[in-house]
Every structure is written in C-alpha cells, then in structure tokens.
Chains A and B, each alone.
Chain A
C-alpha cells in the first residue's frame, strides 16, 4: 500500500501538471465525442424514423466493438501520422457506432401505437418525430452518449502513445514518473471516467420523461450499446 501513499503524494505535488493534462484529456475527448454526436445522432434518428437500414445501423456497432482501440489508434498513426487530429479521428471512429446504434434503436423502437395515435391526431411526419418519437427516444439516445463518453475518456488515455496529450502521458512513461506517478495518473483517469459516468447518468435521468423512469431498470443490456435483439429482429 506504500505505493498508493506515494501516488497520492505525487498527485498533491503535481497538481498543476495533472490539471493541464486533464484539460488536454477533456479537450481531446470532448472534440471527438462532439463530432461523433454531430454525425451519428442525425443519421441514427433519421434511419430510425424511416425504419430503414437496420442491418447497417446494428452491425456497424458490432464491428465497431471489435476494433481494438490500441490497434485503431496505432493504425491511425501508421496511416495519418502522429498528433491530436489523428487520435481524434480514431476516437470518433470508436464513438460513432455506439451513438449511431443507440439513436437508431431508440427511435426505431418507439411504441408504434404512440406514433399511430400521433398520426391519427393529424401530426405531420416531422411533428411526429419532434413531439413524439424524440422525447420517447431521448433516454436511450442518452444511454448511447453516456457509453460513448466514458469509452472515449478511457481510450483517450492511449492517445499518449500516438503523440496527443492526455493523462496517459504519465501512465505510459514509467521511466520518467516512476510507479507513484503512474499510479497517481491512473487514479486521476479512473476518477475522471467515474465522474463522467455519474454526470451523464444524472443527465440521462433528467431527460427521461417521468412516465418512463420506472422502465429504466428494464433496459440493462442497452446501456452497453447492445441493441435489444427482440426489437431488431422484427424489422
């Protein structure tokens, strides 16, 4: 346990360095998640609204999960070279499928009775989307965002091997920082991921319509980015 006492001493002695790297870490993660969301949510929501492309939307996430983050970042380095943008591209590639599949499954799986009722009330397709489908789909879409955020924050740690700055800089450089430094940075990364997880869990709860909150417990596998197989089999 002595190592851990030293680790906390390292954190206390190097707050400025750790803070800078944390901000770098967050900037990298934020940029990647932001772009992934901007691309994946409109696409997933549109496909789900039209009930089209289930095969692609579901399978892109299965293939996406198979991509090893270290290999992806490394191949990105091999193809694009070293630096912030290239790591960001790799992180976008990792986050995109998670968000896409969740957005698709969320909108596609909205209770069709509710959609029929909305149409029966004379709503137009875009009104159905904005007033019925999206509010009902929001919790699941947020589940995808939450998974992607935590995943990207975790993977951004590996950015250090590819020339972008993050808390991983310290973790992969044991020669300079020694075990206490590595442990200290690892503790910071773990705390960062947990805080992000809790923050987005809270956000997810906040955007969930009150009537749906009881159902939250019923969707455990969806939180991991796995679409409900029963639901997808129907299309």
Chain B
C-alpha cells in the first residue's frame, strides 16, 4: 500500500482535467471557485477589451462633440441641426444600430465603435454647449476688458467655467457606453458582453453573473473617478460648496 502511492504520482494514468470544485459540479448559483479559475482566461481579457471599447468610444466621441460644441458656441445656427442628427442617432436602439452598420463596416470592432461613439455625441455636445452658454456675460465682459483675445477668452475663462458641465456629460456618456458596450457582443465577440452572452446560453450562471457584476462595478468606478477628476480640475467649486 505504501509503495502504490508514489507510483501513481509518478505515472498518472488519468490525465488531470482540472479541479472542478463541488460548487461547479453541482451547478451552484454562484461559484467563487469558477471566478478565480477563469479570471485569467475569460474575465480579465473581457474586462480589458471592455475598457478598450469604452475608452476609444469616449475619446473619439468627445473629440467630435467638443469640436461641434465649439463651432456651435460661435455660430448658434449650428445647434439645431447637430442636436437633431445626434438626437436621431441617440434614439435608435443599440441592438438595431449595431446591425444597421453591419453592411458598411461588417462584423468588426469598427462597427461597435461607430455605434458607441454615436451614442456619446448628443450627451457630450449638449453638456459642453450648455456649460459654455452658462458662463455669465459679466465674466466675459470682464475678460474682454482685461484685453483677452477671443481664443484666450475661450481657453482660460469659458472652458474652465464650463468644466463641471462637461465632466457631468462625460460621466453620463461613460456610464452609458460601458452599459451599451455589452450589446456590442452581437456584432463582435469582445468585451464583457461575451461572457454575459455565453452565460445566457448555458445553465451554469456564474459566468453571466460575474461578468454582469464586473460591468456594473466598472461603471460605478469610472463614474467615481470622473467625479474625482472634476474635483481636482475645478478646486474653486469645492470652496463655493463648503461655505
């Protein structure tokens, strides 16, 4: 008996297929073992892809919306057409928009990004414009009186004062995109939508719940980070509030 054990350890006849915890074998409602076992091969890659999808969409969306908002700030006539077009894009349900882009950009990450960017435009445009429009006229007059050029007025007076509204827009846009990026799984098998969709089609639900929870956590953390960013960038608002 004592001699049998080392022999078995040296020449395993049955290959090791993994640990398969009791919880997983019994199809438990939520198995931490599964999460720790598959963090590296399923959840973390999906989380990283999700972050990439979101970051690209927010950066591109903000660049476009920012330029449009600056243009509309200077020429008020642009506001209505931009709001109409971006509002139209914003209204189209995500699942439909992803599919409607397939004939143009195929089942690719580009399709996902185009749709995600189009959802950020209305939010970011309206908030940036509202922030710029909310700058008191006296402040502008004072700045002009001090001899600031149009460009200096924009960059050193109007934009800093518009920052809270801009960040508020970025918060909504970021949380919205993190949520919508899960739907992108119908056109490209990336992001947290992939494990959610995979989990949906099997009886073992841990994968789905873990990915869903990660998605919510990601949204809340991103939201919190943007609040912090705003506090750091606009110290004067904190002084006003503490009074």
Binding site for B on A (CB under 8 A): 1, 3-4, 62-63, 65-72, 74-75, 77-78, 150, 153-155, 157-158, 161-162, 168, 171-172, 179, 182-183, 185-187, 189-190, 193-194, 197, 220-221, 224, 226, 229, 233
Contacts and interface: CB of A to CB of B under 8 A. Distances in A.
B102 A179 contact: yes
Interface of B: 29, 87-88, 91-97, 99-100, 102-103, 122-123, 126-127, 129-130, 164-165, 168-169, 172, 175-176, 178-180, 182-183, 185-186, 192-193, 196-197, 199-200, 205, 208-209, 211-213, 215-216, 219-220, 223, 241
A62 B223 contact: yes
A74 B182 CA distance: 11
Contacts of A154: 91-95
Given A171-B95, A187-B100, A193-B92, A67 B209 contact: no
Contact of B175 (A66, A72, A179, A193): A66
B92 A66 contact: no
Given A63-B220, A161-B200, A197-B91, A69 B179 contact: yes
A183 to B, nearest CB: 6
B96 A190 contact: yes
B100 A157 contact: no
23 contacts: A65-B172, A66-B178, A68-B178, A68-B180, A68-B196, A70-B196, A71-B182, A71-B213, A71-B215, A74-B196, A77-B200, A77-B208, A154-B93, A155-B93, A161-B197, A171-B95, A172-B186, A186-B95, A193-B93, A194-B92, A197-B91, A220-B129, A233-B241
B126 A221 contact: yes
A179 B196 CA distance: 23
Given A65-B176, A158-B95, A187-B96, 16 more contacts: A65-B175, A66-B219, A68-B179, A68-B180, A68-B192, A68-B212, A74-B200, A75-B212, A153-B93, A157-B96, A171-B95, A171-B99, A186-B95, A189-B92, A190-B92, A221-B169
Closest 6 CB pairs of A and B: A71-B212, A154-B93, A66-B219, A186-B96, A78-B205, A68-B179
Contacts of B199: 74, 78
A72 B92 contact: no
A113 to B, nearest CB: 22
Contacts of A172: 95, 186
A155 to B, nearest CB: 8
A74 B199 CA distance: 8
Contacts of B169: 221
Contacts of A226: 168, 172
A157 B91 contact: no
A67 B212 CA distance: 9
A217 to B, nearest CB: 9
Contact of A189 (B93, B103, B176, B220): B93
B127 A221 contact: yes
A193 B123 CA distance: 18
Residue among A66, A150, A168 facing the most chain B CB atoms (10 A cut-off):
A66
A229 B168 contact: yes
A233 B238 CA distance: 12
